[in-house]
Amino acid sequence: MRRVLPALAVFLLAAATVLGALQDTEEFPHEAHEGLFPLCEGCHVGIVTGEEARLFPDPASCAECHDGTRQEPVDWEPAGPRASNLEFFHPLHEDFVGLDGSSATCQNCHAADQIVTPAPRMAVSAAAPESCLECHVHEAPAHLSPGAECSVCHIPLTEAARIPTERIALFPWPDSHDAPGFISEHAPGTPLEEISCGICHASNTCERCHVNADRLEPIMRLASDPRVAELEVGKVAEYPVPESHLASGWSWDHGSSALAGPAQCSTCHTRPSCTECHIEGGPQSAAVIAALPDPVPGGAPGVDLSHAGEILHPFDFDERHATFAATGALQCTECHSQQYCSDCHTAAEASTREFHPDNFLQRHALEVFAGGSNCQSCHSTEAFCRDCHEQTGLASEGRLNVAFHTAQPMWILTHGQAARIGLESCASCHQQTDCLACHSTFLGRGVNPHGPGFDAEGMAARNRVTCRWCHLDDPLGGS
């Protein structure tokens, strides 16, 4: 059946542009053998059958004539198929006809200067890309136009094994790759675009920059190629700053975006990108950090954030961070553990670092009692407070003669109201056994801590568990 080729959208003249001068077979005097071989297919059987091993004649057949008697011996070897990434299969063109209705013949493509002037049948030359255009009408605005169906005429680079490394290095650079924002938006959006990328690229191309190359399906579908790997050696990975990262306050607000899509962050970032600032790995950031890949020796380096800490905290921040930390304006625990703070905020450093305002020691009791200070953040309240009180002569002598509790006479008889208001401050120095010595009906003096008129049933109705802090049995007889 005779068919007419449809017009194609890719400019086949690219063969010369992309591959340079096509490689000819070793010189063979076709014209001198014109009378011996009436048909091209007689020697080039594979052209008809599609067998690549039989595209050229066996040199042994030359010895049938060049045996040293009839003709001088010859030493001829075909160079083999050309190094090309063009998609071409001779048997598919056997039944094609040109736009003018003429049948396709070997001379249509391989006769010397066949486009300019007719040439003898055996004046053989390499096929010129221009001859393809007699049938394959060029419709793309340019050979390397974005969206062109490259796979119509070209095979993937990883399948074009004959192309040498130096030839790949000469592949033309499409203008679209120089467009603003191309690096940030170059990911193929359709299967067609993905196939087109594979015409010139292998997975090695992507692995130079993508730290998550082993997690992205489009990259994983690209085969690896040692020729491309050789060309990528020494090239520096490019990591343009996305527009979102330029927004005001990005360094503080990026956590919400990272939590929404850590897979997107892992395109450019490895775990050290986070741990450079998130020293301890706060609870919210732990999942994101765990989702990022680790650096791979010889792989993509990822974005270098070795100076990110200087950006997050302004100059001399360590000297004035107390206000931010005290008001909760900063989520310090996202990056720092308590140990990180205590390395500086220790009793040994107290003489050189002023962590509390002037005269705080003289008036700290009020703040502690009112719960205005979170002493437990830095101090072991029971041991630290007791040691200090003993050293300054504020220790008790018996139950009634005490120098603390504002030195109020007979404090023990009126402490109930203070305990009900701020029991937490009592626990800074006292253990439960101190209370039970008086308020226990089992081994103590049986003093009722609730006072007259206490509504036990109302308290139990609000929170019965509270009663169990002191009572071994339910005082109201419940279960």
Query: Rounded to an integer, what is the distance from CA 214 to the centroid of its chain?
Result: 10
Distance CA 282, CA 255 (A): 11
* 153, 252, 271, 320, 358 from 327: Cα distances, Å: 67, 17, 30, 13, 19
Cβ atoms within 10 A of the Cβ of 377, count? 11
Q: How many residues does the chain have?
A: 479
Print pLDDT tens along the chain (479 aa). Answer: 333 333 333 333 333 333 333 334 457 888 888 888 888 888 888 888 888 888 888 888 888 889 888 889 988 888 777 788 888 888 887 776 655 666 677 877 887 655 445 567 788 887 777 777 777 776 777 778 877 788 888 999 999 998 999 999 999 999 889 988 888 889 898 898 999 999 999 999 999 999 999 989 999 999 999 999 999 998 989 898 888 888 887 877 787 766 667 788 888 999 888 877 776 555 567 778 888 888 888 889 999 887 555 556 666 777 777 777 766 645 676 667 677 777 776 655 544 556 677 777 777 777 766 655 567 666 766 677 777 777 776 666 665 566 567 667 677 777 888 887 777 777 767 778 888 888 887 778 888 888 788 888 888 888 877 787 777 777 777 65
* 154 SS3 class: strand
Task: State how far the alpha carbon of 359 is from the alpha carbons of 75, 110, 323, in Å.
Answer: 105, 101, 18
Task: Give the span between the Cα atoms of 287 and 258, in whole angstroms.
Answer: 10
Residue holding tokens 């959006």?
189
Phi, psi of 50 (to 5 degrees): 85, 5
**What single-letter DSSP state applies at residue 232?**
H
Among the listed residues 292, 296, 14, the one whose alpha carbon sits nearest the alpha carbon of residue 153: 14
One DSSP character per residue, 364-408 reads HHHHHHHT-S-GGGT--HHHHHHHHHHHTT---BTTTB-S-GGG-
- Three-state SS string over 80-138 comes to CCCCCCECCCHHHHCCEECCCCCECCHHHHHECCCCCCCCCCCCECCCCHHHHCCCCCC
Q: Which of 202, 143, 130 lies closest to 11 in space, CA to CA?
A: 143
Unique residue bearing structure tokens 């990262």: 245
Digit-coded pLDDT (tens) for 409-455: 677 777 888 887 777 777 767 778 888 888 887 778 888 888 788 88
What are the φ and ψ backbone dihedral angles of 448, each rounded to 5 degrees? -75, 115
Q: How far apart, in whole angstroms, are the C-alpha atoms of residue 90 and residue 427? A: 93
Q: Is this structure's pTM higher than 0.85? A: no
Contact assessment for residue 28 and residue 76, using Cβ atoms and an 8 Å cutoff: yes
CB within 8 Å of 21: residues ≥ 6 apart: none
Looking at the DSSP bridge assignments, the partners of residue 111 are: 124
